[in-house]
Amino acid sequence: MRGRTNTWDARLAPAGGGTERNGDLAHGGWRPAPRGLTRPRSAGFTLIEVSLVLMILGVLLGLMVPRLRDPAHADIVSHARRLAVTLRFVRHEAILNGRTYRLNYDLTDHRYWVTSAESEDDLAEFGREGGILAKAVTLPPPLGFSDVNLPWTAGRVHEGYGFTTFYPDGVVDLTLVHLDNGREAYTLLVDPITGHVSVAAGYHEIPS
């Protein structure tokens, strides 16, 4: 036992100076004690932090995955946002081009499209827009328009046609649109002065 101890001590503190010690380091025979002692503690804290992050992610995924797996919910959210973007874009086009535009709703076949008038003197003639606004958008079943509330209608319109008018000065018809897929509804509200489009889950009326 004593011989082993002397040999081990000799490896830790060689009498010959730095050459033998460097040799021991090269062969992995010696490691600094302070670094070796601090590693387990640092690794422990890291594991705790990683575990907490994974737990939080697990909770969030548990809440999100069921909805992502529901195509009906995904469709109504996607199309509500798409319609909101279209409403904002058409107002921008009306201001930019100095023309009057309409967003037309077919509440029977559940689709919408954009038309415009060449001048204020010819508002009776609206033609189908070209470019990215040319194609009508059809809502995929079971999603559809529940109703539309417009200034020139006596209450809600559930079938037939309707339209929101966008003027060159930025004014827009006050419009309330309800989308429905049979299980849930989404509401879009267009502010007539600012053109701001609000999108909210659920069936809501125009604020009084």
Chosen domain end from 50, 68, 86: 68
In a domain, 165, yes or no: yes
Examine the fold and report which residue of 19, 43, 68 is the final residue of a domain before the chain moves on.
Answer: 68
Question: For 108-130, b where at least 16 C-beta lie within 10 A, e where not — what string?
Answer: eebebbbbbbeeeeeeeebeebe
Residues 58 and 112 in one domain: no
- Digit-coded pLDDT (tens) for 60-109: 666 555 556 788 998 999 999 999 999 999 999 999 999 999 999 999 99
Instruction: Give per-residue pLDDT as tens, 117-176.
Output: 876 665 556 777 666 677 899 999 999 999 999 987 778 999 999 999 999 999 999 999
203-206: long-range contacts, CB 8 A cutoff, minimum separation 24: 203/146, 203/178, 205/176, 206/149, 206/174, 206/176
Residue in 141, 139, 142, 146 with CA at minimum distance from that of residue 187: 146
**Whether the Cβ atoms of residue 110 and residue 98 lie closer than 8 Å to each other:** no
Regarding whether 174 and 127 lie in a shared domain, the answer is yes
- Determine the pLDDT at residue 188: 98
User: Pick from 112, 111, 106: which is nearest to 157 by CA?
Assistant: 106
- Would residue 208 count as lying in a domain? no
Pairing assessment for the beta strands 161-166 and 101-106 based on DSSP bridges: antiparallel
Do 161 and 98 share a structural domain?
yes
Q: What pLDDT does residue 189 have?
A: 98
Q: How much is the average pLDDT of 40-53?
A: 64
Please state the pTM of the whole predicted model. Answer: 0.66
Is residue 35 included in any domain, yes or no? yes
pLDDT at 8 (0 to 100) = 42
85, 59: one domain: no
CA-CA distance, 93 to 81, in Å (whole number)?
Answer: 18
- State how far the Cα of 181 lies from the Cα of 80, in Å rounded to an integer: 12
88 and 157 assigned to the same domain = yes
Residues 58 and 80 in one domain: no
Of 161 and 53, the one with more pLDDT: 161
In whole angstroms, give the CA distance from residue 174 to residue 96: 20
| Together in a domain, 126 and 185 | yes
170 part of a folded domain: yes
The number of folded domains in the chain is 2
Angstrom distance (rounded) from CA 124 to CA 110:
24
Range of the domain at 19: 2-68
* CATH label of the domain that carries residue 175: 3.55.40.10
**Using one digit for the tens of pLDDT, what is the confidence trace for 4-44?**
444 444 444 444 444 444 444 445 555 555 554 555 555 55
79/110 Cα distance (integer angstroms): 12
17: left (phi over 0), alpha (psi -120 to 50) or beta: left
Same domain, 63 and 80: no
In a domain, 206, yes or no: no
* Assigned domain for 112 exists: yes
Domain end, chosen from 49, 68, 87, is at 68
d(CA 165, CA 171): 9
Q: Same domain for 83 and 63? A: no
Q: What is the mean pLDDT of residues 42-65?
A: 68
Q: 145 and 187: one domain?
A: yes
H helix or E strand, kind and range, residue 74: helix 71-97
Same-domain status, 62 and 87: no
Q: Helix (H, G, I), strand (E, B), or coil: what is residue 169? A: coil
- What pLDDT digit, counting tens, does each position of 178-202 carry? 999 999 999 999 999 999 999 999 9
Looking at the fold, whether 95 and 183 belong to one and the same domain comes out as yes
